[in-house]
Structure 1
Amino acid sequence: MSKKKSIWCVVLVVNYGSHELIARNFSTLPCREDGVAMVVVDNFSTEAERREIRALCQTRGWDLVTSGINLGFGTGVNLGVEHALGLDPETIVLLNPDAVIDASGLRQLADEVRGDQQRLVCPRIEDTAGKVFFAGALLDMGNGDTLGAASARRRADADYREWLTGACLAFAPSLWRKVGGFSDDYFLYWEDIDFSFRAVQAGAELRYAPHILVIHDEGGTQQAGGQRAKSGLYYYYNIRNRMLFARTWLSGADQRRWIRGSLRASWEIILRGGRRQLLQSLKPWRALFLGLYDGFRDVRGAQR
């Protein structure tokens, strides 16, 4: 009887209407025979999309995990990791549908994790034009502002904490079990910041690996037609979850100060899509109101 080939890496992607991106961006990764398993979690969007992603996974020999509803990003990841753990992999690499990594980069990420299983590892991420999407990140615990790790500190006396993006994240199964996975409360956005904080709390090292490159077009799964405006979900969950994070990690005066600054922060989030959208659509205004309303009410796990 032949010995079952070990899996040195599971690549995990959460899909929501993005089968074409996944077909293109994951076509050159090593296959099961090379010790790499691909797990696709399909958050239900349409019957047509479900048929397309199922056919793609059957053709490529990938594992498909399906949900009858849209679980959101973090809960979708949790579902996929639960399946991945059954494959007994050495490492797990989480990738966005619009992220591209070559075989060498994947191997390097896995090696970083195998070098210390208490590491949570993230590579350098650039878009196709070479613009930096992620090169380390910081969170200002005083007001909730996020900035690049290489950026000048905005406030000399601020308490800045590191976090890693979920666009590409590598970890060992043992660390995942120790941290307990992503929080189901966030649905979309800020769950990676929360996960980073809980990983540090569990004794993990957040490791930014600048020598490993991933290509990622920001908003590739959220925008269409080259428009700058973001989706209503982008605005709503960034606004709401910023306040949810404050309630989870802060208390007393610190929490109240962060919550009081929510109107300013929320307006800055809306303006990421430009001012023209505000004259053309009610969607950003609706997302602004609902995000603030649910954030102030501390609605956990709500879906819009």
Structure 2
Amino acid sequence: MTGRSVLVVTVTYDSTEAVRQFLASIPDAGESIGEVIVAENASSEALQTKAVAGAAGARFLPLSSNVGYGSGVAAAIDAASKPYDYILVSNPDVVLGRGSVDVLVAAAEERLDGGSFGPKILTSEGDVYPSARRLPSLGTGVAHALFGRVWPTNPWSMKYRAERESDQRRNAGWLSGACLLIRPSAYRDIGGFDLSYFMYFEDVDLGDRLGRAGWSNVYIPEAVITHSGAHSASRNVKRMERAHHDSAYRYLSRKYSGWYNAPVRLALRLGLWGRLWWISR
């Protein structure tokens, strides 16, 4: 290995069993891993999660309220005991593949222009999740939102998700925040995660701002992790759908922020409200 050090941070909310598996996967994921911090968003399972984190040798960081994903990540990074060469941000319902973190670090040492590096993400069924996507435009974003569930192979979703490009190293518009290696200098350069996003789209926004600041978002398929989707979001579907739609509007409305785009923003708001009603009815 390169001798580089990695800070690992995750954010939990009623995620005790999921984070147990995540923490168990860390020792085999890389020799570069140093400190591990579990930020807990004041859920009903806080005491159980504290016990699991302690047993795994991780630091437990209790937060006073549910501040959301990006804010939880930021709090964990700020609580690190020393500077690290890289930061691995991960959901708690992830199992890191053997050597996956070291592979990401080695890639980051080669690509000094890279601000973030994402692994290949497998579902619990073993399918490849399209985690390295293009930035959503008005056309592809709206079409994907409208047709992505009822017609998964529609051309707009296929273009946005870049599903046919899952086996090669490449630059992406943004990388899934489910598991992401970040260069600290790039993180500081853009001010970290935008804390106005409670959940969802904070990773889209991060990749967008990294790209505009001159950094690359690099997909590294040789690093493999599994994302089960087993944490609290899957148990609070309607609330998470609302959070997803609110964040989608926040991102797209900022992208089309000029006064002359007021009709576009209104159409986005109405369309997203309609979609939320349809899938939550």
Q: TM-score, normalised by structure 2?
A: 0.80
Matched AA of 1:131: D
**Equivalent-residue separation in structure 2 for 1:115 and 1:82 (angstroms):** 27
1:187-237 residue CA offsets vs partner (Å, 9 max, x unmatched): 11111111111111221101111222111123643224xxxxx61221111
C-alpha spacing 1:83/1:118, structure 2 compared with 1 (3 Å): farther
How much has 1:245 moved relative to structure 2?
1.1
**Equivalent-residue separation in structure 2 for 1:35 and 1:242 (angstroms):** 33
Q: State the match for 2:253 in structure 1.
A: 247
Q: Which has the larger radius of gyration?
A: 1
C-alpha spacing 1:51/1:237, structure 2 compared with 1 (3 Å): same
Does 2:260 align with 1:263?
A: no
Matched AA of 1:18: S
How much has 1:247 moved relative to structure 2?
2.8
Q: State the match for 1:167 in structure 2.
A: 178
Pairwise CA RMSD: 2.6
Q: State the match for 1:45 in structure 2.
A: 43
Preserved contact between residue 125 and residue 134 of structure 1 (Cα < 8 Å) = yes
Does 2:104 align with 1:109?
A: yes
Q: State the match for 2:242 in structure 1.
A: 236
Does 2:222 align with 1:211?
A: yes
Structure ranking higher on relative contact order (CA contacts 8 Å, 6+ apart) = 2
How much has 1:20 moved relative to structure 2?
1.2
Q: 1:171-210 alignment to 2 at 5 Å?
A: 171-210=182-221
C-alpha spacing 1:10/1:221, structure 2 compared with 1 (3 Å): same
Preserved contact between residue 18 and residue 230 of structure 2 (Cα < 8 Å) = no
Q: Which moved more, 1:50-59 or 1:176-185?
A: 50-59
How much has 1:262 moved relative to structure 2?
3.7
**Equivalent-residue separation in structure 2 for 1:50 and 1:25 (angstroms):** 16
**Equivalent-residue separation in structure 1 for 2:265 and 2:163 (angstroms):** 23
How much has 1:248 moved relative to structure 2?
2.0
Matched AA of 2:94: A
Classify the secondary structure of the residue corresponding to 2:25. Answer: coil
Q: Structure 1: 5+ residue runs without aligned partners?
A: 1-5, 153-160, 225-229, 274-283, 286-304
Preserved contact between residue 40 and residue 80 of structure 1 (Cα < 8 Å) = yes
Q: Structure 2: 5+ residue runs without aligned partners?
A: 145-159, 166-171
How much has 1:33 moved relative to structure 2?
8.7
User: Percent of pairs identical after alignment?
Assistant: 23
Number of residue pairs matched by the alignment:
253
